[in-house]
Amino acid sequence: MRATALLAPTLREAPADAEVVSHKLLLRAGFIRRVAAGVYNHLPLSMRVLKKIEQIVREEMDRQGGQELLMPIIQPAELWRESGRWDVYGPELFRFKDRHDRNFALGPTHEEIVTTLVRGEVNSYKQLPLLLYQIQNKYRDERRPRFGLMRGREFIMKDLYSFDRDEKGLQNSYMKMHEAYTRIFQRCGLHFRPVEADSGAIGGSETHEFMVLAESGEASILFCGNESCDYAANVERAEQIHRPRQEQEDRNKLTAIDTPDCRTIEEVARFLDVSPQKIIKTLIYETDTEVVAVLVRGDRDVNEIKLLNTLGCLHLDLADEITIKRVTGATKGFSGPVGLKGIKIIADLEVSSIANAVAGANKDHAHFLNVNPSRDFSIDILTDVRMVEAGEPCPRCGGQLKEARGIEVGQIFKLGDKYSKQLGATYLDENGRAKPIIMGCYGIGVTRTMAAAIEQYNDQDGIVWPAAIAPFHVVVVPINTKNNEQMSLAEKIYENLIAANVEVVLDDRPERAGVKFKDADLIGYPLRVTVGSKAVSEQMLEVKVRRTGEMTMVPVEKLGRVVQEMLKNL
Ligand code: ATP
Ligand code: MG
């Protein structure tokens, strides 16, 4: 490719609304252009990277026996009604009507379509297992589309669905996909971790997220600091190890005390000169169906995902002032479990072992001292509902948990019979009995993977692509395009590299060398070959490695082979 013919409009500055580095660099290096919030044009450089990631994904899906197909983006509402998701998916589903007033959605995912397809075509155990996948645009009207390709409203996803006879078969398919995902992200040259993730309120099935490690990641991960332990979990999911240790103190008399304007844990702790660990934090939540009180130690935070799962509800939120006043009798900041009537009390495991705690008195500007669980109030559900923090023990080996930030690039999920039951996808076993097909689903965000790679590999000059997914491998930069000798040498090198199967751009633009070097760094070609006067006189070329900045002198006739070797390690 000649740079004069390449549509790669680089910018000196990133638009002000680009927050994360991948978004800034994708714009500046001429990979993408915004069309609407969360909707982008992919220019030729972007397209090349996406195709490479897709190809790696495709090869690894095929290696595990996956079969590629293509399902429609347009999905009829009837199928979503049948699965029960039309009403619960919410505003993230892009909905529209056709000219006959029939309802449709733009596919955010394809369980409905694929399960219906398999329902019609698979009848016998002999046709299972089946692994079906596609690579295609997905549509989600995200509440906050942001960070460029990281959270778009239109994005490319690989989604595979597995169909098995039973749990054992599903486990096998799941392991295959776990292995495939590991190979995919390794081949893309990324640092990543599979982590245990939350599987949602419905069904307690297994799920892992594949996280690319990067500071800008939206997800928080806890992993074991022990080299020999591979425990890692999304913080939403990480379990606490609770060793009940009843505090050895005499239980003192419950006493009410005035705490004027002390609404937060910090204010109460300061005013009463107690440690937050001795305070019971009481939060009032409202779900689809009820209002509940949630208790955690004062120094802890409620894990709303765990709470959602405990209650088995779809949505929950902190209650508003009016609801708090109605159920507790006091304004926000003075809620407590003592004397609280008519609502369920859910307490975190740690709460049960606090002795002589401080808690809100359900009366404005008042708290109780010496609150003791069991004696002073009863707990309806005692369970793990808090956030686990770095430094706590690993639930698997007891080692110390560490924290990292991650970008979720893929997720694998055991669905079981959730969709097959709802949509009636059954098969006949050896004995002619009808059974629901056991399913799994497995997604990879292709566009997000591209952005995640940039989050991981960049410096002050631009992108630093791993060679496996770089848009081109090499840029050849003639210093002076008006110099015929330099240009003809550059042309020769360009042709030779093409012949050696190297993906190469010849920067034949009549720009100053400095401008071309800057663009080469910005776009992130793994290797840069400079053709100046010395190259012409000595037939030696300067090859620069983008990642390390290292320069090597290479004889012209050896360039093809040397470049191929160098690329293997980049
Ligand atoms: P998130 O929690 O980030 O919203 P999700 O769990 O809803 O993602 P899945 O349904 O598991 O996403 O989709 C599979 C993959 O598709 C994700 O792992 C991610 O890589 C990608 N993906 C999901 N939503 C988006 C989006 N809005 N923009 C880009 N990629 C996305
Ligand atoms: Mg996910």
**Sequential DSSP letters for 7-59:** -----SS--TT--SHHHHHHHHTTSEEEEETTEEEE-HHHHHHHHHHHHHHHH
What is the reported pTM?
Answer: 0.92
What is the per-residue pLDDT for 199? 82
- Residues above pLDDT 70, as percent of the chain: 99
What is the per-residue pLDDT for 38? 96
**Pair 481, 446 in one domain:** no
CA-to-CA distance for 204 and 163, rounded, in angstroms? Answer: 19
Residue 402 domain-assigned (yes or no) = no
The residue contributing the CA closest to ligand 1 atom 27 is 151
Helices (H), 233-311: 265-272, 304-311
**Is residue 354 classed as helix, strand or coil in its secondary structure?**
coil
Residue 179 domain-assigned (yes or no) = yes
The residue contributing the CA closest to ligand 1 atom 25 is 151
**Is residue 132 classed as helix, strand or coil in its secondary structure?**
strand
Neighbouring C-beta atoms of residue 406, cutoff 10 Å: 27
**Pair 53, 161 in one domain:** yes
- List the structure tokens of 283: 């939060």
**Pair 451, 492 in one domain:** no
The string over 307-324, giving b where at least 16 C-beta atoms fall within 10 Å of a residue's C-beta and e elsewhere, is bbbbbebeebeebeeeeb
Q: Which residues contact 472 (CB under 8 A, 6 or more apart)?
A: 1, 48, 503, 504, 505, 525
Question: Of 360, 383, 406, which residue sits at a domain end?
Answer: 383
- For the stretch 42-46, contacts whose Cβ atoms lie closer than 8 Å and that sit 24 or more positions apart, written own/partner, are 43/7, 43/8, 43/9, 44/6, 44/7, 44/8, 44/471, 45/6, 45/8, 45/471, 45/523, 46/450, 46/471
Strand partners, 255: 369
Which ligand is nearest to the Cα of residue 111, counting in written order?
1
Residue 212 domain-assigned (yes or no) = no
Residue tagged 């594949």 (tokens): 210
**Pair 311, 364 in one domain:** yes
**Pair 451, 478 in one domain:** no
Helices (H), 89-151: 111-121
Question: Of 383, 404, 436, which residue sits at a domain end?
Answer: 383
Atom from ligand 1 closest to the CA of residue 410:
18
The residue contributing the CA closest to ligand 1 atom 23 is 445
**Pair 268, 334 in one domain:** yes
Residue 237 domain-assigned (yes or no) = no
What is the per-residue pLDDT for 245? 75
What CATH number should be reported for the domain holding residue 538?
A: 3.40.50.800
Residue type at 308 in one-letter notation: L
Which of 136, 207, 409, 411 maximizes ligand 1 atoms within 8 Å of its Cβ, making it the mutation to test the pocket? Answer: 411
Atom from ligand 1 closest to the CA of residue 449:
20
What is the per-residue pLDDT for 17? 86
CA-to-CA distance for 499 and 494, rounded, in angstroms? Answer: 9
**Pair 56, 92 in one domain:** yes
Maximum alpha-carbon separation in the chain: 96
Q: What DSSP state is assigned to residue 258?
A: E
**Pair 563, 446 in one domain:** no
CA-to-CA distance for 514 and 532, rounded, in angstroms? Answer: 13
**Pair 368, 336 in one domain:** yes
**Pair 376, 432 in one domain:** no
Strands (E), 401-461: 401-416, 426-428, 434-436, 438-445, 458-459
Is residue 199 within 8 Å of residue 415, measured between CB atoms? no
Residue 517 domain-assigned (yes or no) = yes
Neighbouring C-beta atoms of residue 523, cutoff 10 Å: 26
The residue contributing the CA closest to ligand 1 atom 3 is 408
Atom from ligand 1 closest to the CA of residue 140:
27
**Pair 501, 534 in one domain:** yes
Residue 438 domain-assigned (yes or no) = yes
Q: Minimal CA–CA distance to 443: which of 158, 60, 163?
A: 158
Residue 204 domain-assigned (yes or no) = no
Number of structural domains, the chain? 3
Which ligand is nearest to the Cα of residue 444, counting in written order?
1
CA distances from 247 to 145, 351, 354, 487, 546 (A): 48, 11, 6, 81, 59
Neighbouring C-beta atoms of residue 550, cutoff 10 Å: 10
CA-to-CA distance for 550 and 543, rounded, in angstroms? Answer: 8
Range of the domain at 187: 15-191+414-455
Q: Minimal CA–CA distance to 265: which of 304, 299, 303?
A: 299
Residue 139 domain-assigned (yes or no) = yes
Q: What DSSP state is assigned to residue 149?
A: T
**Pair 437, 492 in one domain:** no
Which ligand is nearest to the Cα of residue 408, counting in written order?
1
Atom from ligand 1 closest to the CA of residue 108:
10
| pLDDT tens digit at each of 570 positions of the chain | 999 999 999 999 988 889 899 999 999 999 999 999 999 999 999 999 999 999 999 999 999 999 999 999 999 999 999 999 999 888 999 999 999 999 999 999 999 999 999 999 999 999 999 999 999 999 999 999 999 999 999 999 999 999 999 999 999 999 999 999 999 999 999 999 999 998 875 555 799 999 999 998 999 999 999 999 999 999 999 999 888 776 678 899 999 999 999 999 999 999 999 999 999 999 999 999 999 999 999 999 999 999 999 998 888 999 999 999 999 999 999 999 999 999 999 999 999 999 999 999 999 999 999 999 999 999 999 999 999 999 999 999 999 999 999 999 999 999 999 999 999 999 999 999 999 999 999 999 999 999 999 999 999 999 999 999 999 999 999 999 999 999 999 999 999 999 999 999 999 999 999 999 999 999 999 999 999 989 999 999 999 999 999 999 999 999 999 999 999 988
Output Rg (C-alpha) for the chain, integer angstroms.
29
Q: In the chain, what are the helix, strand and coil shares in percent, each to the nearest 5?
A: 30, 30, 40
